[in-house]
Amino acid sequence: MTDDMMNLRMLLEKSADADFLREMIGFAAQRLMELDVESLTGAAHGARDPDRVNQRNGYRDRPWETRAGAVELRIPKLRKGSYFPAFLEPRRMAEKALAAVVQEAYIHGVSTRSVDDLVQAMGMSGISKSQVSRLCEEIDAKVKAFLTRPLEGDWPYLWLDATYVKARENGRIVSVAVIVQGIARPFGAVAVNSDGRREVLGMDIGPSEAETFWTEFLRKLARRGLRGVKLVISDAHEGLKAAVAKVLHAAWQRCRVHFMRNVLAHAGRHGRRVVAAFIGTAFVQDDAETARTQWRQVADQLRPKVPKLATVMDDAEADVLAFMSFPKDHRPKIHSTNPLERLNGEIKRRTDVVGIFPNEAAVTRLVGAILLEQNDEWQLQHRYLTLETITGLADDAGVALPNALTKAA
């Protein structure tokens, strides 16, 4: 307590009048977090206590936007579990970005009736173009810094996906693709780093999912430092697959969930459950070789009655079973794009409110803010993959290319 009083006294003596309130807010917030973490760990910082139940693991810097200005916080991290202070609003930036996009659409006269109603409900009918411009500039700077940050270390697993939104372009309403490296039409990407944690790597916007678009998108990531990719997981798309081979030279995993939906369409309504169970036996094998053997046996058993289904299995074998060449502990999380579904759902929920975006910059603003906040939340959660298994993957050069891909090469 004596140290806290000394720190407070120094703060009172050094702070200029204009900064006093902001400094006081930061001091109080930091003390609140320290008290929170002491209760979670069962001991004071640095103290040896037999009742301690957890250990600290450094700090994570995060700016906190307050009415007094931006306050730089150092949020404590824990070795077990995660900590996030209750007084912060993890979704605040996305809500601000949504308000900015809604306002911009309203001002430019391209909003839908639902947006007009929302503007009135939020009391924003008196907004001016200059007000919206200032708000957009503030958000755009943060989103740009996030989406263009350098990528450090190895990223063994990369998820790619895209979703479509409507935006106005030269007076016309068009559908554009957002890609997130992990998502996008907007296009985007999500990856697991060498520390076992998920991060959103970036996003982009394009007119379609053509190979040229994906190639340029991946090259941008590579220029920012993306390396060490061993497996890319996505839906079936020949342009994306070709771009992955050209730029990353990595193995490709076709989303198993989407493949099953496609292949079961050939099984007939009454045979789908049985066929799904047959195919599923290949996924529970111990290694890639036995999985491929089982896959071919299932295809041969089904061939007499459903030849089209068996042919689909023949063609998809290498792509659907690519994940089997990787560590067993990782397989449940790398065989499909399901890890992106929740993030996709959140993007869809927010963009549906807008309906038609006034321009592509507005798409980047809102989707980018959502991705930034999701990325922050992931850093506070448990590792997506354990440190021990992800370290072993980095040391094992044998998993860089599955057997099927090596043969093809």
Write the pLDDT tens digit of every residue in 266-314. 988 888 999 999 999 999 999 999 999 999 999 999 999 999 999 999 9
Q: Give, in order, the Cα–Cα distances in Å from 357 to each of 15, 152, 345, 362.
A: 44, 33, 18, 6
> Residues 194, 153: contact at Cβ < 8 Å?
yes
Q: Which residues 6+ apart lie within 8 Å of 298 measured at CB?
A: 278, 279, 281, 282, 313
> Residues 230, 325: contact at Cβ < 8 Å?
no
Per-residue pLDDT, averaged over 99-119, amounts to 56
Which part of the chain has CATH 3.30.420?
147-255+337-395
Measured in Å, how far apart are the chain's first and last C-alpha atoms? 66
Q: Are strands 69-78 and 172-180 parallel, antiparallel or unpaired?
A: unpaired
Q: Give, in order, the Cα–Cα distances in Å from 71 to each of 63, 76, 160, 256, 380.
A: 6, 16, 34, 45, 19
Query: What per-residue confidence (pLDDT) applies to 72?
Result: 86
Q: How far is Cα 218 from Cα 213, in angstroms, rounded to an integer?
A: 9
Q: CA angle, 216 as apex, 215 and 218 as ends, to 5°?
A: 65
Query: What per-residue confidence (pLDDT) applies to 94?
Result: 62
Name the burial class of residue 385, with classes exposed (0-12), middle (13-18) and buried (19+) by CB atoms within 10 angstroms of its CB.
buried
Q: What is the pLDDT of residues 207-246, one digit of tens each?
A: 777 888 899 999 999 999 999 999 999 998 888 899 999 9
* Confidence bin at 405 (pLDDT 50/70/90): very low
Q: How far is Cα 373 from Cα 378, in angstroms, rounded to an integer?
A: 9
Q: How far is Cα 65 from Cα 98, in angstroms, rounded to an integer?
A: 17
According to CATH, the topology of domain 147-255+337-395 is Nucleotidyltransferase; domain 5 (3.30.420)
Query: What per-residue confidence (pLDDT) applies to 334?
Result: 95
- Residue 187 forms beta bridges with which residues? 162, 204
Query: Cα 252 to the chain's mean position, in Å?
Result: 19
pTM over 0.85: no
Q: What is the pLDDT of residues 24-44, one digit of tens each?
A: 777 778 888 888 888 888 888
Query: What per-residue confidence (pLDDT) applies to 406?
Result: 40
Q: What is the dihedral of CA 286, 289, 293, 296, to 10 degrees?
A: 110
Q: Is 183 a residue whose pLDDT tops 50?
A: no
